[in-house]
Amino acid sequence: MDVALLRHPRTKTNVNREQGTGNGERGMNTQPAILKSASENHATAMALDAATALDANWEVLFLRGVGGIVTLGGAFMLMGWAAGFSSWVGAIPNAQTMKANTSLGFTLIGVTMLLLTFRGRFAGLALKAANLATVCVGAIGLITLLEYVFGVNLRIDELLVVDFLTARDAFPGRMGVNGAICQLLASVALWILGRPGAKGSSNATVAWAGALIVGISIDALIAHFEARRSGYNWLDMMSMAVHAAFIYTLLGIAFLRVAAKASTFRWAIGRSLSFEFVSGLAVVIAVAALSYLSAAQVGQETLRMKRTREALEQIWAFRAGVDELEAVAHGDMLSGNDVFRRRWSKDGGEGAQQLRLRYKALLESITADPTRERLLEPLHEAVEGWLGFLQELASLRESGGFEEARRYFQSGSSREWRSRIDVLISELIALERAEVGAREREMYKVSERTFGLLPSGVLLSILVLSYGMVRLNLEMMAREKVAKALAMSESRLHLALDAAQIGDWDIDLVTLRANRSLRHDQIFGYIDQKPVWTYEDFLEHVHPEDRAGVDSGFRASIAGGEEWSFECRILRYGGGTGWIWGRGKCFKNENGQVESMRGVIGDITQRRAAEEEIRSLNATLEQRVRERTLKLETAMKELDAFSYSVSHDLRAPLRAIDGFSRMVIEEYSQELAQDGQRKLAVIRTEAQRMSRLIDDLLTFSRLGRAEIQSETVDMRALAQEVFNELTGRGTNGRKIQFEVQHLPVAVGAQAMIRQVWVNLIGNAIKFTRGRELAEIEVGFHLGAGGETVYSIKDNGVGFDMRHVGKLFGVFQRLHSEKEFEGTGVGLALVQRIVSRHGGRVWADAEEGRGSTFFFTLPKPSL
């Protein structure tokens, strides 16, 4: 426990700065010492001192407050002894006083606490004075204990002042055993508080000293209020005063607070288990308290029973005294002997004096209450009257003789007084016997309850403690399991880090020292791990051109408590350069201040080289792309020229062949044989088919290059319009049932989508030619992911699904041209249009029972 913390609320960064090192111990508050320039150091030191003082000042004020109270209390008692004021040295009149040595000890303890919190130029001198005062306190307590142990007087009890209240004490001026122990414990705690750098077990010692002081003093306070002498007077020697016990309690609490503030101890048991343990402890305390109260009640009832029996014995003794005195009076009356007369004479006779003493003892033994007082007063009057009767009887015996005394004795006065005495004594005996019976019954109930409570309480305590042990064992097992899982996880993590060639690190922002893995140091070129690694070591390995940026990023991360991520070049140990990446996360203490950073680091030299190579390749690739683009543009122009040639140069011969063939048929039909006319018709038909093929090829080629101008398309209206157009020139007497559902709108080039409906509806009309009633249905449904799937279903000839792969190829036909005309390009056009819109197309069919074609188009944006 560092006394510098109590004297001056500065951070360990400042201590390191003053000592010229970066390896100081950690104080109550921590801040990173990472600034390098003198101006930055000065500004940071001021900011850190201000931030740290906010928390440390509360501790200083608390300790100063306790020290001031203890100092004033001890000094006040010392002045009371010096001035001879007994009311000053005793908090309670006629109670135990605080001895002068105890007062001196309190004064020294309070002054020591004030010196330990002293700030300023003479802080070092104040610390030496505090240590000297601590030694004096310990010496007083130790010597007092030695006096008790060896039974000697070392003449320190009245060293300062003479105990003017010696009549009350067995050892004038000496503090009690418990007080001496508390002073010795306080000196040990103060000595540790005054040792710079002491922590760990020392904090535990301060905590134990404080706990023992609190326990001893609180027990003394409770004992004072309970009038339990054994609690405040150990070994039946000297007592601890009430105000001394209070001051010791305050000191113990102060030591516990300081130790707790400097300790790393934290309550690690979960809330549930803590509640169960507290509940179990409460049960045990309740059982113990009830047992104690029951035992105390038994003791009280026993004492009352004893007193009642003693009162009953005194009543019987008094009655025996009355009988004895009456017998003596008879002897005197019969014999006239002076010996008998002296024993019962009212004015000094032995019998009368003994009877009065027995009456006094009777009064002291009987518990005062209105019922008994109502009997005791008449009894006193009857006894005095009866003694007066006996005195008169003795006078008559001496003056008038036996006969006159006998006549007086046989008169009614003698029987009246004695009868009254007997009646009153009988009533007292009846009362005490009733009291004895009531006490016996009450004691039986208390004993029955006590002996019934103790086994139940012990059993309940055993059950509670057993349950607590089982729960604690279960939690320990769970923690052991978690610890094993954590160890396994850490092992896997280190294995993964090693496999990924990544090093991990943890830097203390107070000492700026880092714990790290072997791989961390190997990344920087070391074969084995360095003994010490600091932030300065890291910066020395960073390339000079990257050092400023990395350092500023580190500072900004700590200032904001944010993650730190960087990539930089490094200078490897032994020569050579490389690239690394790193990432760190800040961790804060309980005061919300950043105290450490943990992270990982990796070697990215090869990745950087690959990236550089990729950048070079990209630059070359861009040039190649430009060249290829130019070639592609040239090829596209040539393709356009070819398309123009096809559409003009190839069509001209076809038109000539078709035209001249028609002219020959028209002009020379009479001269040509039937076979010649047929062949000319075939020439015309094939020329026309060739022209259609060329048109379809040109359309197919243009669709691959045409730009799509998207717009909203009313699919239902467009499908109906296409059907009307295809059937508008007549259906050759066919019956066609065409149904269109309410279709969702689509987005795309309307001309292209129109071509899709033309080809699909046209195929449906064509392939249902052999049906008496052609049924064509256009609909939709929602597919996976909410896409809209359009469909066109017919009851035509269908096709074999084994050949579905050929369906959308160019010039691919599943039926001969004799059965159904066509070029085999229509469905290929449909697939290209749908694909260019980002959709897809497919079909499902059954030979002889019709087919269904499906396609998807993008949904309109909301």
Q: What is the pTM of this model?
A: 0.44
CB contact set of 780 (below 8 Å; sequence gap of 6+): 715, 741, 743, 744, 788, 789, 790, 791
Q: 276 to each of 280, 464, 465, 472, 616, how far by Cα in Å?
A: 6, 9, 10, 10, 70
Question: What's the token pair of residue 771?
Answer: 């049906």
pLDDT at position 45: 38
- Exposed, middle or buried: residue 468 (CB in 10 Å: 0-12, 13-18, 19+)? middle
Interatomic CA distance for residues 7 and 413, integer angstroms:
94
Length of the chain: 862
Asked if residues 228 and 218 have their Cβ atoms less than 8 Å apart, the reply is no
pLDDT at position 95: 59
Interatomic CA distance for residues 684 and 86, integer angstroms:
147
For the chain, the straight-line distance linking the first and the last C-alpha, in angstroms and rounded, comes to 69
Asked if residues 44 and 14 have their Cβ atoms less than 8 Å apart, the reply is no
Q: 599 to each of 506, 507, 514, 523, how far by Cα in Å?
A: 7, 9, 11, 15
pLDDT at position 302: 79
Asked if residues 244 and 102 have their Cβ atoms less than 8 Å apart, the reply is yes
pLDDT in tens, 646-685: 656 666 677 777 777 778 777 777 777 777 777 777 777 7
pLDDT at position 496: 75
pLDDT at position 437: 81
Q: 271 to each of 86, 453, 475, how far by Cα in Å?
A: 52, 30, 12
pLDDT at position 108: 92
Quickly list H helices, 401-411: 402-409
**Residue for token pair 């309480």:** 457
**Residue for token pair 């300081």:** 258
Interatomic CA distance for residues 227 and 230, integer angstroms:
9
One-letter amino acid at 751 equals A
pLDDT at position 44: 38
Burial 322-337 (b: 16+ CB within 10 A, else e): beebbebbebbbeeee
Q: Residue 853: how many CB atoms within 10 A of its CB?
A: 23
pLDDT at position 29: 38
Q: Which helix (H) or strand (E) holds 39?
A: helix 38-83
Chain mean position to CA 152: 56
Dihedral of the CA atoms 661, 667, 671, 677 (nearest 10)?
30
Rg (CA), the chain: 59
Residues of the chain with pLDDT under 50: 1-55, 167-168, 340, 346-348
CB contact set of 516 (below 8 Å; sequence gap of 6+): 503, 504, 505, 506, 529, 533
Asked if residues 544 and 551 have their Cβ atoms less than 8 Å apart, the reply is no
pLDDT at position 812: 60
What DSSP string describes 800-831?
Answer: -GGGGGGTTSTT--SS-TTTS---S-HHHHHH
pLDDT at position 368: 66
Question: What's the token pair of residue 630?
Answer: 């130019």
pLDDT at position 265: 59
pLDDT at position 458: 74
Sign of the alpha-carbon torsion through 154, 155, 159, 162: positive
